[in-house]
Amino acid sequence: MTKKPKIFISGVAGFLGSHLADKFIAEGYKVAGCDNLIGGYLDNVPSEVEFYQYDLNFHNSVVKITKDCDIIFHCAATAYEGLSVFSPYFITKNIVESTVSLITAAIANKAERFVFCSSMARYGTQEKVPFTEDMTPKPQDPYGIGKYSSELFLRNLCETHGMDYVIAVPHNIIGPRQKYDDPYRNVASIMINLMLQGRQPIIYGDGEQKRCFSFIQDDIDILYRLAFEKSAVGEVINIGPDDEFVTINQLAGCIAEIIGFDLNPEYEKSRPQEVLLANCSAEKARQMFGYSPKIRLKDGLRSMVDHIRTRGTKPFKYHIDLEIVNSKTPDTWKNRKF
């Protein structure tokens, strides 16, 4: 009987990484993983995971903990797109440097495949939406630039040294376990945490920015297949629905309706470099894997409300320093308004 490959997941205490670990464990795979806990919760980590509280930037340690791992999932990221404009060093270090560290360790340890979770931020502002994988990336903030740079490193190193790779582009994932006390990211979680405390959400600009939101399980099922499908090697694949394209105002309204909250949002100035219309086509995933989201937006948001109610609301933790503070820095962060 063929031995099942061992899976390594970076960011395994995070929202995406912990759910992915659950999936592989349920399918009978041995899973190892690491997390520095910048963006995750320790109690997210499944008990069956061989867990290391390590930072990917400590390369020698990463080489040791990825030894004997066959398939690497790189979910770890300081996924702070808006904040990256004001803390570019911190974000870039934990996107580009950490990614190269893990790729290098995987190649050194002769891993078979590397699945990199990139970001919709790679696309930037395009002439049309939804974004398709054949579009030339035009990232317009340090986070997106870092993610696309990491893709280029991955292609270069894997093609040079002979390791299979896949570039997945999951986007705007929502669901239980998402960090909701973080003032810098996760708009749906921030709004739920505020409204459950009886506080009005804060919306940047006029709230007419449009996004699609993807429920976690609809992403996990495709990511799982990317570990094994031969057709995925060398491909960029968007993961997430493209049919519920909503404004941030509509998102707030939907959450308020679920909670039974009297909505009267506060509006702040727009954040610099924010993409106004961001939606990824799921057509390639549909054609390759029969992708079909099972959870609609309102149902996904309802599960998040239930989770946060059960876990309890939390005060927001300003756990990342602002490197650049000027007139363009959002007051929500500068004056800690959440």
Q: At what angle do helices 142-161 and 98-108 cross, to 10 degrees?
A: 10
CATH of the domain at 104: 3.40.50.720
Domain check: are 232 and 305 in the same one? no
Domain check: are 297 and 192 in the same one? yes
What's the number of domains the chain is made of? 2
Assign 21 to helix, strand or coil: helix
Tokens 């005060």, located at residue: 315
CB 77 within 8 A of CB 117: yes
* Residue 2 located in a structural domain: no
Structure tokens at 46: 């499944």
* Residue 180 located in a structural domain: no
pLDDT of residue 3: 82
Domain check: are 254 and 221 in the same one? no
CATH of the domain at 201: 3.90.25.10
The strand pairing partners of 166, in sequence order, are 115
d(CA 49, CA 254): 36
Structure tokens at 188: 């749906």
Answer positive or negative: Cα dihedral of 222, 309, 197, 336. negative
pLDDT of residue 1: 43
Structure tokens at 16: 């995406």
* Residue 326 located in a structural domain: yes
Domain check: are 145 and 276 in the same one? no
Amino acid at 296: R
**Whole domain around residue 169: which residue ranges?**
7-174+213-239
pTM for the full predicted model: 0.96
* Residue 181 located in a structural domain: no
* Residue 1 located in a structural domain: no
Structure tokens at 141: 């903030």
Among 223, 239, 255, give the residue marking a domain's end. Answer: 239
Closest CA to 295 of 175, 212, 178, 215: 215
* Residue 129 located in a structural domain: yes
Residue 162: CB partners within 8 Å, gap ≥ 6?
none
* Residue 234 located in a structural domain: yes
pLDDT < 70: residue spans in the chain: 1-2
Domain check: are 225 and 318 in the same one? no
d(CA 259, CA 305): 7
Closest CA to 102 of 78, 73, 137, 143: 73
Half-sphere exposure of 205 (CA within 13 A, CB side): 14
H or E element that contains 9: strand 7-10
